[in-house]
Amino acid sequence: MRGIGRNVGKITLRKTIPIVDKLNMVMQDRDNLKEEVGEMKKSLVDLHVKVNCIVEKQGEQGVVDPSTIPPFKSNCALLLDLIHIGKRCDLCDWKKRAVARGEVHEVDLTAHVHGADLGEGNFRVVLIEIKASHAELWKEVVYHHTLGEVGVGGFVLWPKLFLTIYP
């Protein structure tokens, strides 16, 4: 009774029951999330081991030289990028105007688009609709300089900061 105060009756105690129940639910949800994060970390480590095994086997067969493949990044940024693959997006210019519509196709740093490395912070996007065919590409390549030259169905390299990705 000291913690609650004077003049505590049955009604006051009954009013605190839903609050305590809600607090217990929140704490249980927090514990469940901690377990899920732990499981995801374990599965990420397992995936890292499997990828390394595959790379080593391909290197033994002469298919891929493991030294040319960058190490697997197990950070949150890569995981967040991977969830965008296959999602529709708007490609925006530097004034944040939509110049085309596309679908995220690749987020791997080592992927190539028209002979150029994708690099960090860029996505490979397949064009579905071009709204401004005169819009210039972010990274000039030998063959194409504008979205119109690439055409619908073609791939472009686009910074993820200038993509509006839809769920």
Q: Please answer whether residues 142 and 149 qualify as being in contact, where contact means their C-beta atoms are separated by less than 8 angstroms.
A: no
Q: Does residue 89 sit in helix, strand or coil? A: strand
**45-49, 66-70, 156-160: which range is least confident on average?**
66-70
Nearest to 135 by CA among 123, 120, 151, 118: 151
* 68 φ, ψ (degrees, to nearest 5): -85, -10
Q: Which amino acid is at 135?
A: A
pLDDT grade for 128, boundaries at 50, 70 and 90: very high
Q: According to the model, what pLDDT value does residue 60 have?
A: 55
Q: Alpha-carbon distance 63 to 127, whole Å?
A: 31
- Distance between CA 140 and CA 124 in Å, rounded? 14
Place 110 in a pLDDT band, splitting at 50, 70 and 90.
low
Q: How many CB atoms lie within 10 A of CB 136?
A: 15
Q: Look up the pTM and report it.
A: 0.51
The larger pLDDT score, comparing residue 20 to residue 61, is at 20
For 131, residues 6+ apart whose C-beta sits below 8 A from its C-beta are 98, 99, 100, 101
- String of DSSP letters for 31-67: HHHHHHHHHHHHHHHHHHHHHHHHHHHHHHTTS--GG
pLDDT on residue 1: 44
pLDDT of residue 88: 93
Q: Is 51 left (phi over 0), alpha (psi -120 to 50) or beta?
A: alpha
Instruction: Please determine, for residue 132, whether its predicted confidence score (pLDDT) is greater than 60.
Output: yes
Residue-wise pLDDT tens digits, 85-106: 888 999 998 888 999 999 988 7
Cα–Cα distance between 52 and 71 in angstroms, integer?
9
Average pLDDT, rounded, for the chain: 77
The string of DSSP letters for 128-165 reads: EEES-TTPBPSS--SS-SBHHHH-TT-EEEEEGGGEEE
Instruction: Write down how long the chain is.
Output: 167
| 125 against 106, higher pLDDT | 125
pLDDT of residue 85: 83
